[in-house]
Structure 1
């Protein structure tokens, strides 16, 4: 930069600094004319905007003219503006547009004062324009970087707060109305609505993420890992738990347990316990999804392994020790019980003759010592078969 150019910039900067208040007024008016958000005064108040504009114009002019500034440097001021606007929720595009309007107003003021200059000085206008926009570009870049960093920090802070409140619900602190209200606000859902809790068995090498599939099915959800499992709160709405279970079966590829629906966020801890009970009825390593209400017997037997073992021993011990007969007898018994003890329907399901079914059921009765006509025997056999599933 030549000495003449440097001297002209300094002179122009000092001249405009002498008229700083009017230049600030022009800039604020220009921003208001081109931004309905700034014009509304929300979220950035008119006082805030004017103060920021005045400070930034002063710093930009001093930077352009090579004049000494106060302790506040241009980069620090731009970073502070970016942080503040991010916290206020002003869109970044709107803030960047205001910076461009600032560059335009400063340049227009300079151009107006250059009209009466000598031809030699007017030939420097192009260089001065480049200098103005370089300053504005520096301002904008630093501000935008600070804005984005602050946005990430705010998002992380909000995610942490939402996660903490969700954990508080799962830990049983929803009995405090203040905790429930805070959690509902942070999660963006009503305190009273139809919900379910889902517990998913995690694979550390390939963590599950049910949220996208559920969102595509119209189901809002929020998830957090808990040890080796993933716990999720799902807003059922009118869809019901059937849609939830079907979506998880189609997309998850993991075993999962679903609690019965409940109508208050404060009951999420109960939902967690019941979803875990549902998951506990499934053998590990599969991809089945269990709704607790569909597997209450399994859950009851699985809650006490000793009782489950005694049930199996009392009602099915002879069949289990029958060697090669065991698989076909257990299968036939299960289908026979599921079809209401109908030999004909069992035969259709198993593609065999009705007499074959009767012979097999007779053999079960012989091996177990229970009559096939006994109501207790049929109940005991049904419970024992489910206990076997629970025990793996």
Structure 2
């Protein structure tokens, strides 16, 4: 039995060991010969193997300049093998190739798989050339293989790094572009061509149904984030959401599909500690701006932390808030005699009127809420009738009283400054 000690160097014919000068000369000579005599054939072979072996390219998505790219990569590899000291040159070229792949939208895995195919073809070219030209030096292919695959690995790594860098830059550009497009839908008045461009980029159809939710966080944002945020495709209860933020404002575009607002739980869009105003469902990209304006109106009716206010459930209040000048006028026109009373009486009367409206005109429920007897509630209502000249039994008078209370709570007056703490916001 023969025993070979691993620490003993294995001497090959001609005295050439690993990394010998003969191996380096073989690499340089073979690379030069392949470049001058077989580069075109090698390029065609690599292109054929890529089209057959890489699913992305097999699906007829190969870039038109695939052969040119393969030719450039093989030239790069062969040139590097002829002068391994010129690393800056080949790394610069490799970075360019990786960046171009990202620009063309080729998946990185497909790109790297193609490079591996090219590396294999390059190695096969070396083997075939040495067998044909210098069969006595076949044993040196062990050293050649190491050099070839080290080079392929280095080029592949540089290409991958450049690809990821450009892809990241493109992703940032895409975020900025989509942010601007969504901003134009929410806050601008884009024309039909601009609507089509925005819809295509954001994955929205012109005939889709949308709603907008405007958000007020518990604390104000600091300076606008340097990178606008856009969340694409988040699923919440079957409704796709596009989130948009600008300085001091935040909105969610809800792509409703065939759903109605009643199918959208408040909890799915609620903001802990914040407030959300939800506008009506509209149809068409051109109506998104209107939906956003109505959602802002709904948000203005919010008074409690964590509240979600739907416009269709706050229409009288929203009607008042839509005209703050009229809100102030109606509050003073109807409630001025009550507002002129001493603070204690004024607070009690306004609290009773608001509770009576919220409780559907039931003195018993008002008494339970305000911790007083129903007769006390009726006496206070008669006092309000006397002061305002409005009757709680006449429908038109009740409408005026209701609008006046909303106007006082939500209008120019501080909503809760002059009202008792136990008076809940209406609606």
TM-score by length of 2: 0.79
> Does residue 1:135 correspond to 2:144, yes or no?
no
Contact 2:233 2:242 (8 Å CA) reproduced: no
Give the SS at the match of 2:63: coil
Give, in angstroms, the shift of residue 114 of structure 1.
Answer: 4.3
> Does residue 1:9 correspond to 2:27, yes or no?
yes
Alignment partner, residue 186 of structure 1: 201
Tell me how far apart the structure 2 counterparts of residues 41 and 372 of structure 1 sit (CA, whole Å): 76
Give, in angstroms, the shift of residue 369 of structure 1.
Answer: 4.6
* Shift in alpha-carbon separation, 1:275–1:81, aligned structure 2, 3 A: same
Alignment of 1:306-321 (within 5 A): 306-320=325-339, 321=341
Alignment partner, residue 10 of structure 2: none
Contact 1:245 1:258 (8 Å CA) reproduced: no
Alignment of 1:149-164 (within 5 A): 149-164=165-180
Tell me how far apart the structure 2 counterparts of residues 257 and 181 of structure 1 sit (CA, whole Å): 27
> In angstroms, what is the RMSD of aligned CA positions?
3.2
Alignment of 1:25-174 (within 5 A): 25-45=44-64, 48-66=65-83, 73-114=89-130, 121-174=137-190
Contact 2:277 2:308 (8 Å CA) reproduced: yes
Give the SS at the match of 1:157: helix
Tell me how far apart the structure 2 counterparts of residues 167 and 258 of structure 1 sit (CA, whole Å): 18
Give the SS at the match of 2:252: strand
Contact 2:179 2:230 (8 Å CA) reproduced: no
Contact 1:210 1:252 (8 Å CA) reproduced: no
Give, in angstroms, the shift of residue 113 of structure 1.
Answer: 4.2
Give, in angstroms, the shift of residue 226 of structure 1.
Answer: 3.6
Tell me how far apart the structure 2 counterparts of residues 332 and 338 of structure 1 sit (CA, whole Å): 10
Stretches of structure 1 lacking an aligned partner (at least 5 in a row): none
Q: Deviations over 1:168-204 (max 9, x none)?
A: 3334433x22111111111111111111222223521
Give the SS at the match of 1:222: strand
Give, in angstroms, the shift of residue 92 of structure 1.
Answer: 0.4
Tell me how far apart the structure 1 counterparts of residues 145 and 231 of structure 2 sit (CA, whole Å): 51
Give the SS at the match of 1:220: strand
Give the SS at the match of 1:185: helix
Contact 1:10 1:66 (8 Å CA) reproduced: yes
Q: Between Structure 1 and Structure 2, how many residues are aligned? A: 385
Give the SS at the match of 2:270: helix
> Does residue 1:356 correspond to 2:376, yes or no?
yes
Alignment partner, residue 197 of structure 1: 212
Contact 1:256 1:279 (8 Å CA) reproduced: yes
Contact 2:210 2:284 (8 Å CA) reproduced: yes
Give the SS at the match of 1:189: coil
Alignment partner, residue 299 of structure 1: 318
Give the SS at the match of 1:196: strand
Give, in angstroms, the shift of residue 243 of structure 1.
Answer: 4.7
Tell me how far apart the structure 2 counterparts of residues 347 and 212 of structure 1 sit (CA, whole Å): 50
- Would you identify which runs of 4 or more consecutive aligned residues in structure 1 move more than 6 Å? 206-210
Tell me how far apart the structure 1 counterparts of residues 195 and 52 of structure 2 sit (CA, whole Å): 44
Give, in angstroms, the shift of residue 230 of structure 1.
Answer: 1.6
Segment of structure 1 superposing worse, 26-35 or 362-371: 362-371
Alignment of 1:232-311 (within 5 A): 232-244=252-264, 246-247=266-267, 250-283=270-303, 286-311=305-330
Segment of structure 1 superposing worse, 2-11 or 318-327: 318-327
Give, in angstroms, the shift of residue 384 of structure 1.
Answer: 1.7
Contact 1:248 1:289 (8 Å CA) reproduced: no
Stretches of structure 2 lacking an aligned partner (at least 5 in a row): 1-18, 416-427
Structure number with higher helix proportion: 1
Alignment partner, residue 222 of structure 1: 242
Contact 1:249 1:288 (8 Å CA) reproduced: no
* Shift in alpha-carbon separation, 1:29–1:43, aligned structure 2, 3 A: closer
Q: Deviations over 1:16-37 (max 9, x none)?
A: 2222222223322332332132
Give the SS at the match of 1:192: coil
Give the SS at the match of 1:190: coil
Tell me how far apart the structure 2 counterparts of residues 253 and 289 of structure 1 sit (CA, whole Å): 11
Contact 1:312 1:384 (8 Å CA) reproduced: yes
Give, in angstroms, the shift of residue 259 of structure 1.
Answer: 2.2
